[in-house]
Amino acid sequence: MKVMQTYLNNWMLFSICFGLLLLVSFIMSLLGERFYTFDVIRKKFNMIELEVPASPKEMANLIKGIFLLPPEESARSLKAVRAQLGWDFLFMPCAYGSIFLVCWRIAQKMHHVGHFFSWY
């Protein structure tokens, strides 16, 4: 009975983590639709360009370009970037927590080696 309870609790926790992951991903994709910058022309950008720029100059141009947009569009883009970074703090624990729980369940299915690693 105890084993069955633990089994259900682990999958329930995984389901909650994965469900939150999907919900937060959806919200973040909606926020990503508002990412615009001005670099010679008005263009869309994504969070990867901001997190991992090709060069420091490209990052500076991207941020500077947000402030070169018309005031209402600049405020909307900045608000979306801030909100996306805030949601990212919930996304990461859900993503890595889901991966951890699946790996833990798989390790418990393996006999000798899996049991050793699932407890450490």
Of the candidates 70, 82, 2, the residue with the CA atom closest to the CA atom of residue 38:
70
**How far apart, in whole angstroms, are the C-alpha atoms of residue 69 and residue 90?**
29
3 state DSSP class of 54:
coil
Q: Which of 3-12, 37-46, 84-93, 102-111 has the lowest mean pLDDT?
A: 3-12
pLDDT digits (tens, 9 = 90+) for 37-79: 998 889 999 888 888 888 889 899 999 999 999 999 999 999 9
pLDDT-derived band at 86 (thresholds 50, 70, 90) equals very high
Residue with tokens 């008005």: 42
Q: Is 16 exposed, middle or buried (0-12, 13-18, 19+ CB in 10 A)?
A: middle
**Domain that residue 56 falls in:** 2-118
pLDDT-derived band at 11 (thresholds 50, 70, 90) equals confident
Answer for the pair 12, 88: CB distance below 8 angstroms, yes or no: no
- pTM across the whole model: 0.75
**The token pair that represents 110 in the structure block:** 């393996």
**How far apart, in whole angstroms, are the C-alpha atoms of residue 49 and residue 30?**
17
Domain count of the chain?
A: 1
